[in-house]
Structure 1
Amino acid sequence: MAAISTTDEPDEGGDLLLWVLVWGELAAFGILLLGYVVMSVLHPESFALAKLHLAPRLAGFNTIVLLTSGWQAALAARSEGKPKLQRLFLLLAAALGFLFVVLKIMEYSSEWTAAGDASLQTFFELYFLITGFHLAHVAFVAALFVLASIRLERSTVVMLTTVWHVIDIVWLVMFPLIYLS
């Protein structure tokens, strides 16, 4: 006979819906990245040429921004019982998330002209689809950090931090695959 837990401790991110979301996001990005890899094998010359129009240094700096934001989110999740500190960490995570968005849009502005070249079209369609999907996630969760800072709830902070770390992991796969390979 299984023991029934009678503790009043909050669930630390083990909620089924959260994990369905996490694995769903990983599957969606995995399919997109697999498509990118397949097309890069089928069109190696055009992909290599298209990558010359990317800004890997800016993307590298943006990686640092995103990871620092994830660190702030983690600090928020660990600051239970200290509402002022928790709000500060959530707002810092959000601000860095929004900085990532601004830097990515700046990067897009320099790449947009190359995307019009018909020989580079396959690369840039996949590039904008994958990075744009990621960018939408960053912007949305950063906005949710702001909302969460207004009404602090442990389960919300843990859930958002978990999703943010998934966004970090996806970027850590995307960055070398797209910019450095």
Structure 2
Amino acid sequence: MISSEPHGQAAPESDDLLAWILAWSELVAFAALLTGFVIASWFQPEAFAAGKARLHHDMALANTVILLVSGWFAALAPRSGSIGRQRLALLAAAAGGILFVAVKLYEYRAEGTSLLAADVFSQLYVLITGFHLAHVLFGALVLGLMARFPSPENIHLMTTLWHVIDIVWLVMFPVIYLL
């Protein structure tokens, strides 16, 4: 099957199953964590309200914008006409991921010892956001590595996973910071 990829390249259909398995496993893992967070918030509404009040919503909003822009660059990578443009898009997406990590680490630092509290909110907050942070860091490093050694199949697979990481954050942000 010929796709709209540049230079008449065939769509990387052979990696679609792996991409879907990885994407759905990520979504299921984060859905379980966020469901646990919501259920725990029903049992301890005061503790969760106090925990959410001490969070830095402005940094979380900035990270939302950063990931959306990074995702936009990731979406450009497989559609770029040349290897140079693919590399540039991948590096920009990776840079967005690294910037997300830096802002999140700064947010953790700003929250200070409250992150080490023994309450359920703090424990779940660190578990969920830390798990996501690890995914962003790993994904950004892989995107950067792929900029050095691009292949259509790998770009397809990793940019799909990068979008899943973005989707997870877009669900996490309101659940953890706003609701």
For normalisation by structure 2, the TM-score amounts to 0.92
Matched residue, 1:138: 136
Q: Which is further off, 29-38 or 12-21?
A: 12-21
Equivalent residue runs for 1:19-58 within 5 Å: 19-58=20-59
Output the CA distance in 2 between the equivalents of 1:151 and 1:40.
Answer: 45
Matched residue, 2:168: 170
Q: Which is further off, 11-20 or 51-60?
A: 11-20
Output the CA distance in 2 between the equivalents of 1:69 and 1:117.
Answer: 32
Q: 1:126 to 1:13 in 2, by over 3 A?
A: farther
Matched residue, 2:90: 90
Deviations 1:95-128 (Å, cap 9, x if unpaired)? Answer: 111000000000001223113444xx21010001
Amino acid at match of 1:83: I
Output the CA distance in 2 between the equivalents of 1:13 and 1:56.
Answer: 41
Name the one with the larger helix percent.
2
SS at match of 1:95: helix
Matched residue, 1:114: 114
**Contact 2:66-2:99 at 8 Å conserved across structures:** yes
- Of all paired residues, the percent bearing the same amino acid is 51
Equivalent residue runs for 1:57-96 within 5 Å: 57-79=58-80, 81-96=81-96
Output the CA distance in 2 between the equivalents of 1:28 and 1:116.
Answer: 23
For normalisation by structure 1, the TM-score amounts to 0.91
Larger radius of gyration: 1
Matched residue, 1:125: 123
Output the CA distance in 1 between the equivalents of 2:139 and 2:146.
Answer: 10
The runs of 5 or more residues in structure 1 that have no matched partner are none
SS at match of 1:15: helix
Q: CA RMSD in A?
A: 1.8
Amino acid at match of 2:98: F
Deviations 1:31-85 (Å, cap 9, x if unpaired)? Answer: 0000000000000000001111100111001100011000001111111x40111
**Contact 1:13-1:159 at 8 Å conserved across structures:** no
Q: 1:87 to 1:48 in 2, by over 3 A?
A: same
Output the CA distance in 2 between the equivalents of 1:69 and 1:139.
Answer: 13
Count of residue pairs the alignment pairs up: 174
